[in-house]
Amino acid sequence: MSKIGNEKVEVSSTKEMNDLDILNDIMQSEKNNSNNYSIAIDEMSNKVLYKKIFKIFKETKALARELYDLAFVKGWYTLETADETKIKKEYDNAKNLYKEL
């Protein structure tokens, strides 16, 4: 399996938070915010409020994606290529779970 990524930008390893720590903290906060917004919009009965919160939800998701892209560019996140048999196996598993519903 090969990895896809950029050259890693080194950060200091001290007790203080470095750029990677700060970015990870912000990314986790944005993920938590979007999860909470998702629950809120699912359960919201006021249509005007729903539209406003849904707009904020989309902005939060877009920001989370930008943060991930930044981490990828800095080389702090990498992707792995998956071989076809693994992809097919996961697809078949998901298909079978769907049939059980």
DSSP string, 34-90: HHHHHHHHHH---HHHHHHHHHHHHHHHHHHHHHHHHHHHTTS--EE---HHHHHHH
> What pLDDT digit, counting tens, does each position of 9-59 carry?
888 888 899 999 999 999 999 999 999 999 999 999 999 999 999 999 999
Angle, to 10 degrees, between the axis of helix 47-73 and the axis of helix 19-43? Answer: 160
CA distance 14 to 20: 12
> What pLDDT digit, counting tens, does each position of 45-95 carry?
999 999 999 999 999 999 999 999 999 999 998 888 888 998 999 999 999
**Is the entire prediction scored with pTM above 0.85?**
no
